[in-house]
Chain A
């Protein structure tokens, strides 16, 4: 092994030990440390805090980090994917969702311990992502996009459930961030066992995995049962990751970072990576936890360490991207079978526009009253119009803007899974919103809007800078966006972990609300949407050429860099404008362009227009549902849209790429 390893590993180990020692010394001077064996009845309170709090915390950081590093290394080996890990494949989010749902719907399930529930959720999420991946030849970038989407969906549903239950689930919010706080040594014992068994399993699988690194055809040619080895390895990795999730919560990206660092430090062979990754993972989590202890002190020890590792994960993913080689076999990102094509798309577009108008009128006219439904008479219609029209206009405009952004991104990347939710713009917008909430004591709506837009533009600038740095394949840009989203969501969970009223304000906005909008804001949003639609039409020739790839488009004299930047900017502004209103997660930007395409709108101008109309209609439907489903209470609009969108998304990915 290389010299840097010899230098870096002891250095980081010393750093981790030093950080922990500083924290421990602050808690209790060395002279008063409890001697072994520790007997609580004979110890002072400070000694108990050290012996049963800080000490197991230091050890569990090592064990959990090692377990995550091992899990990531196994996943990366079996999927031949250098960006695979429990976070990017949605496994940790699946475990989290299962725990949230169990806490709400069936608390008695948790009586058996958190582990079986977390394991079920993690297994289901992993199964879903792998099923999607199998249809696309396990192309690494596709797998991660699918995994992150599944993770985001799970997080959205978990947020919905948390919001519906109020304070009851506050502990789960903390758990989401991955706190390493310990009360005794039981967690250490569990994870030690997991690590031991996992290590044995990994050792047994090492040789088959090495053969599998030849690829499935090559390995089965050597007489290996590829499916069995894959299943065993993935099951092992999922079990390890779910165990850590059940014990500590979301500790993101350690599984991604550890094998990557192992390779950077000179581990060429898969065996070396498998051996070195747990060691590095242990050190990463230890150093992170030590830093949290140092900054927060013993007083603020509720700050979750998992949020800190998440902060490192986004930049790490971006750093890894250019180092992915030959990741996407040609054709694997293609859409499912040929979509139909209409001979006369104008008729469909006219019908959609008429339907949209009729829907707006009908939605103003009818409404739910206590005890039933009511159709307004003329007088009430005029009274209700100023109340209902703004939110309908705003909902439709936001839907149209998101749909236009989605259509642009899907054409830009030639990837049917591209959408503004994935580009990181929504994540940046949430960060801007959160920043204003925390910076200003009583923020006005204007300040919130400005903050949200600024966040969106900043995230956009980050992705655009990355995209323009060099000739970057479109799906890498997509992944960069996902990395920005991941960064944003980990910052958010860190903020939420503080758990006061401001956290609830953010959570409420995250799920989207349309009740607060005024007529001026609604008309402004409508104007922005119209402008974006017109700009997309002006760029229709770019949108027609770009799906053919850089070779063809560049060969025809299209200014690739300018076109990409302009279109990303357009999509970003559209997303930012809509996100202020509906919150970051709605999936309308994903669904509407896809629906338009399946309806047979093939040419760019028809596609964009149809997507905008469908997006507006979808958001109106979501708004109606959000107002009616829980009458007289309103459910959050964005949440309702994502509850429609998530099953659609998963269904679409399951059948895509045949």
Chain B
């Protein structure tokens, strides 16, 4: 099944073309990484998929054109986390996670038993129960990122879009957060599209990698297909060497 069917997608800002004629199908039920150099358009593509940026071209999500979805229906099927999470002034962890129920109850609907269940399950799944009654802004970076993930989980969406979710974390928390995302997807048949800077993290935690270069699709495939010196050279324009770890997974380093 196709998650996103993208056809001839372009995004222009005055004086520059950010995305240029991208045609691409993203598969369902997989963890997909978007990689590329700075300014390659990977974040823009993610924002287009999240309907945060307007674009020319045709995009269908789960077989329906993007423009046909009503905002709350879309949010029930798809959750988006921007690169910089805003300060949640004066908000408790429990309250922030509960905001993920907005697509279900709307502005005036009752916060019912199903909403309570979804919030409790999301907090458990992301392991944020221990600090449920603390202020979000007092948490450490890794804890806070898990809280925002819990909010997305409470949304009960089948698809997660994440824009560089690990860019502000140390390496231990990077692994922790990506492992959590991977587990969430594989255990619950969710799909995820993640913008990542680190090609080795992408290879280790993702099933499918899409590489952009200067606003165009450079290549896509499994980690094994992309973590090769010639492919990486084509994507980043830099000679790369691929080493093998003991367990057989490849690791790319600048040559």
Contact = CB atoms under 8 A, between A and B. Distances in A.
Nearest to B71: A557
B221 interface: no
A556 B155 contact: yes
B88 A557 contact: no
Interface string A552-567: 1011111100000000
Interface stretch (B25-33, B77-85, B193-201): B77-85
B135 interface: yes
A547 B86 contact: yes
Given A338-B138, A538-B108, A541-B102, A547 B89 contact: yes
A549 B107 contact: no
Contacts of A414: 86, 89
Contact-size category for B: 35 or more
A549 B89 CA distance: 12
A334 interface: yes
A555 B86 contact: no
Contacts of B155: 556
Interface string A526-560: 00000000000011011011011111101111110
Interface in B82-131: 82, 84-92, 95, 99-100, 102-103, 105-108
Given A555-B79, A555-B81, A542 B72 contact: no
B52 A551 contact: yes
B59 interface: no
B90 A557 contact: no
B90 A559 contact: no
B81 A339 contact: no
B80 A551 contact: yes
A338 B90 contact: yes
B90 A538 contact: no
B45 interface: no
**Best-buried of A538, A555, A558, A602 by chain B (most CB within 10 Å):** A555
Contacts of B183: none
B122 to A, nearest CB: 14
Contact of B52 (A330, A550, A559): A550
Nearest to B87: A334
B236 interface: no
B135 to A, nearest CB: 6
B50 A555 contact: yes
Given A338-B138, A559-B71, A549 B99 contact: no
A172 interface: no
Contact of B86 (A339, A549, A557): A549
Contacts of B100: 556
Contacts of B71: 554, 557-559
B17 interface: no
Nearest to A541: B107
B205 interface: no
Contacts of B107: 538-539, 541-542
Contacts, number: 81
Contacts of B186: none
A223 interface: no
Contact of B90 (A549, A554, A602): A602
B56 interface: no
Nearest to B98: A544
B75 interface: yes
A123 B99 CA distance: 47
A429 B51 CA distance: 38
A556 B70 CA distance: 11
Contact of A557 (B73, B82, B92, B135): B73
A517 interface: no
Interface residues of A, number: 29
A368 interface: no
Contact of A549 (B82, B95, B135): B82
Nearest to B70: A557
Nearest to B155: A556
Interface in B130-167: 135, 137-138, 155
B51 A554 contact: yes
Contacts of B79: 555
Contacts of A547: 86, 89
Given A334-B87, A597-B90, A556 B99 contact: yes
B206 to A, nearest CB: 21
Nearest to A547: B89
Contacts of A189: none
A564 to B, nearest CB: 13
A556 B75 contact: yes
A555 B154 CA distance: 13
A572 B188 CA distance: 47
B214 interface: no
B89 to A, nearest CB: 6
A558 B76 CA distance: 12
A557 B72 contact: yes
Contacts of B51: 554
A559 B70 CA distance: 9
Contacts of B80: 551, 555
Contact of B99 (A331, A334, A545): A545
A591 B84 CA distance: 30
B82 A555 contact: yes
A542 B71 CA distance: 14
B150 to A, nearest CB: 14
Contacts of B135: 338, 341
Interface in B176-233: none
A602 B82 contact: no
Given A557-B72, A557-B75, A602 B91 contact: yes
A411 to B, nearest CB: 10
B102 to A, nearest CB: 5
Contacts of A339: 89-90
Contacts of A388: none
Interface in A319-372: 330-331, 334-335, 338-339, 341
Nearest to A555: B80
B52 A555 contact: yes
A3 B253 CA distance: 52
Given A338-B138, A341-B135, A542-B107, 17 more contacts: A338-B89, A338-B137, A341-B90, A539-B107, A541-B105, A541-B108, A544-B95, A544-B99, A551-B52, A552-B86, A555-B75, A555-B79, A555-B80, A556-B100, A556-B155, A557-B74, A557-B76
11 contacts: A331-B87, A542-B107, A547-B89, A549-B82, A551-B82, A554-B50, A555-B75, A556-B99, A556-B103, A557-B76, A557-B103
The 7 A-B pairs at the shortest CB distance, nearest first, are namely A557-B75, A551-B82, A602-B90, A555-B80, A557-B72, A557-B71, A557-B103
